[in-house]
Structure 1
Amino acid sequence: MDLEKITLGLKQEGYIADDNTAMVLQYSLLLNKPLLIEGPAGAGKTELAKAWSQFLGRELIRLQCYEGIDESKALYEWDYQKQLLFIQTKEPGTKEWSDTSETIYTDEFLLRRPLLKAITNEKPAVLLIDEIDKSDEEFESFLLEILSDWQISIPEIGTIPAVSIPSVLLTSNSTRNISQALRRRCLYLHLDYPNEQRELEILKINFPQLQEKLGKQAVTLVRKLRLEKLKKHPSISEVIDWVNILEQLGVEELLQETVASTITVLFKYQDDCKLVLEKVNQKDWFNGILHS
């Protein structure tokens, strides 16, 4: 699968990928290696995984990480209620625990969480391990066997090898360092906010009738504001929402009043809104942005 096919395929799914992104995705597929994607929140990491699964025609299996996540939520869990019901209804003549354990620790009682489901799918899937940096290092150790040997060890029944090998994408907002052991098992991609040309292309895909002037002004303003010291910079999805509002309001050109009245679509903290409004209300600063 060549780079041009990947780039065009992702574009058809609504994702504008640069050459480096397409190249690393190609390598990940060729080597059957996981891809660790780092970058700021809202840069399009999760959207890339969604577009990648659509382009490949594969099921997307998503594991959302959080503080305290463990193997029961990520790998597998036994259906204890079903096991208990089975024990209560079995024939009273069977009293040996060995007889019971051989019966209740079977596939029938195994709840497959995202990681186990991904490697036991009959057809290869795309496995998204989202925001891995929100988990702890102990959780990362659960991933090592699966990402290097494509198998999972379950004490009660043994090792379950992969039926198919998924395309694995791990995302991180870099809120903590990812362990070296996990990094060694992955290819690497840093995904930043897009440049002006690429962000304008993203807007045009979502809004085919977008006025060229409005699109350029919106992208220029957003990119300038991302350089400010804010609690949260506007994500690509928030920029899309903002431009959607501007289009529905019939805006053809950005004015100070328009930006001021719609700023909460882009920024979600009061301090950020105040700082941005101060900038926007400076006529020289605002005009300098629009005519840069």
Structure 2
Amino acid sequence: MLSAHDYVADRALATCVFLALRLGRPLFLEGEAGVGKTEIAKVLARALGRPLERLQCYEGLDLASAAYEWNYARQMIEIRLAEATGGADRDRLGRDIFTDPFLIRRPLLRAVEGIDGVPPVLLVDELDRADEPFEAFLLEVLSDFTITIPELGVRGGGPPPVVVVTSNRTREIHDALKRRCLYHWVDYPDAERERAILRARAPGVGDRLAAQVVAFVQGLRERDLFKLPGVAETLDWANALMQLDIVELDPAVIDDTLGVLLKYQDDILRMRGSEAAKVLAEVRAAVGHDAPAG
């Protein structure tokens, strides 16, 4: 199913995804940025024919942004209108303004209630960026797939969404949340799988260039860099080289395009010039100049 939608997974990851779907358990994916964690949720949404509901986490994320909030502006207008017409029954008005028409649904509430009757794929992306208290709120969602709204009661509890939680591990996620999930560490792919990813996602790149690109990126990952390039950077670099009509790597092209691969100036300065040429020499020794052109 994953490969049919151009996601090249190893057997362990595919097994974990399969079990998460069969057991109805959230899938918790950790790994470096750019290794394909978020993409799994997108692929599952396409493959299962479900809408994708994405919650992008950040520092300071709260209940109002993640689950729901009341439309205070509309509530105030309703109160003013009732006062203007002289028909303001305080008790009744207090009940009426805390009903569904005044409720703004955010990703978590939409996910547990379903979208047009269809349970979506819920992506909780980069949970490690959110504050720890937010994890405590997630426990109810991941345990029972429900959200309690004090004014309305419990929402959800129907067919559960498919849940994918990702983390770049900038901090540790609490064990209580991890226990509710199936866990998998998404690592950098080996050379063979990365070439397969290039063939699937950038089919216009020739075989010779693809082999050299993968070998060069694999060589960079053996260096002591602040941020190693992920699969996303490999794809970006291959597509950038294709736009420049490059059919084979050379030192000048690498120096000119290092900013596609590396995102920190210190890393770029360290690799530019002789160090990049050294990696390229290793690539040519391993791949050679005689690889078939695609």
Q: TM-score by structure 1 length?
A: 0.92
| Aligned-pair CA distance for 1:83 | 0.7
Report Cα offsets for 1:227-269 as digits up to 9, x if no partner. 2222221121221121112222222221112211211111122
Q: Which residue matches 1:87?
A: 79
| Aligned-pair CA distance for 1:86 | 0.8
Q: Which residue matches 1:139?
A: 134
Report Cα offsets for 1:184-226 as digits up to 9, x if no partner. 1111011011111111011111232432221111101101101
Which of 49, 54, 78 pairs up with 1:57?
49
Report Cα offsets for 1:85-113 as digits up to 9, x if no partner. 111112424333x2122101101101000
Contact 1:221-1:290 within 8 A present in 2 as well:
no
Large movers: runs of 4+ above 6 Å: none
1:62, 1:148 → 2: CA distance? 19
Q: Which residue matches 2:289?
A: none
Which of 167, 185, 203 pairs up with 1:172?
167
Residue ranges of structure 2 left out of the alignment (5+ in a row):
287-294
Fraction of identical pairs, as percent: 43
Contact 2:55-2:107 within 8 A present in 1 as well:
yes
Which of 3, 11, 14 pairs up with 1:19?
11
Which of 124, 127, 132 pairs up with 2:122?
127
Q: Which residue matches 2:270?
A: 275
Which of 185, 191, 200 pairs up with 1:205?
200
2:260, 2:88 → 1: CA distance? 65
| Aligned-pair CA distance for 1:125 | 0.5
Say if 2:284 is the partner of 1:290: yes
Say if 2:96 is the partner of 1:100: no
1:248, 1:74 → 2: CA distance? 40
Q: Which residue matches 2:36?
A: 44
| Aligned-pair CA distance for 1:288 | 2.2
CA RMSD of aligned residues (A): 1.4
Q: Which residue matches 2:292?
A: none
Residue ranges of structure 1 left out of the alignment (5+ in a row):
1-8
Which of 218, 242, 250 pairs up with 2:245?
250
Contact 1:42-1:234 within 8 A present in 2 as well:
yes
Contact 2:225-2:267 within 8 A present in 1 as well:
yes
Contact 1:38-1:189 within 8 A present in 2 as well:
yes
Q: SS in structure 2 opposite 1:291?
A: helix
Report Cα offsets for 1:138-186 as digits up to 9, x if no partner. 0001111111112111111211133331000000000101001101111
Which of 31, 39, 42 pairs up with 2:23?
31
Q: Which residue matches 2:222?
A: 227
Change over 3 Å in CA distance of 1:49–1:161 after alignment to 2:
closer
Say if 2:160 is the partner of 1:160: no
Contact 2:125-2:166 within 8 A present in 1 as well:
yes
Q: SS in structure 1 opposite 2:211?
A: helix
1:195, 1:281 → 2: CA distance? 22
Change over 3 Å in CA distance of 1:200–1:92 after alignment to 2:
same
Contact 2:205-2:239 within 8 A present in 1 as well:
no
Contact 1:42-1:237 within 8 A present in 2 as well:
yes
Q: TM-score by structure 2 length?
A: 0.92
